[in-house]
Amino acid sequence: MKAQRISAGAIVVKDGKVLLVRHRKEGAYDFLVAPGGGVGDGEDAAAAAVREAKEEAGVTVHPVKLAFVEEFFSPVQRECKLWFWCRYLSGAPNAEAHEATREYICEAAFFSREDLVSHTVFPPVLKHDAFWEAERKGFPTTEYLGLRAMEFS
């Protein structure tokens, strides 16, 4: 039986740029992703998104609304991720926390649309015009992003 996991992430846009962390493990992977991770026992998903933004990127955020639901799988795990649109409150992005370095996070920063072109980015919707249009409108609806294979584990 596959492990089942619920996770949450923070989509944070400030000054037309999106907050991402860079996971890089030499010879294995190098990608950008919005901060996020597993929801703990007794923790609601919105609180997990706030915690993950602090742990992985060093910023304090406030969840505004659920923007995306995404599912992915690997041979050993099935995951449902809830992506919350969050308002940036404070903090300079950094990847210095123990929680970040143990996950091979080497950078945290706000990236422009142009910065994303040459990178693998998760969720992939961040590279699409539809994301930036939805963000401009305040994510009027929650969008289901579908099921995809996990590219890195």
pLDDT tens-digit map of 80-102: 999 999 999 999 999 999 999 99
Question: Which letter, b or e, does each residue of 79-98 get, where b requires 16 or more Cβ atoms within 10 Å of its Cβ?
Answer: bbbbbbbbebeeeebbbebe
- pLDDT, residue 1, reads 74
Q: How much of the chain, in percent, has pLDDT values that exceed 90?
A: 95
Q: How many folded domains does the chain comprise?
A: 1
Which pTM value belongs to this model? 0.95
What residue type is 153 in one-letter code? S
Q: CATH number for the domain including 68?
A: 3.90.79.10
Structural domain harbouring 65: 3-147
- pLDDT, residue 75, reads 93
- pLDDT, residue 2, reads 85
What mean pLDDT do residues 48-66 have? 98
- pLDDT, residue 153, reads 62
**In a domain? residue 85:** yes
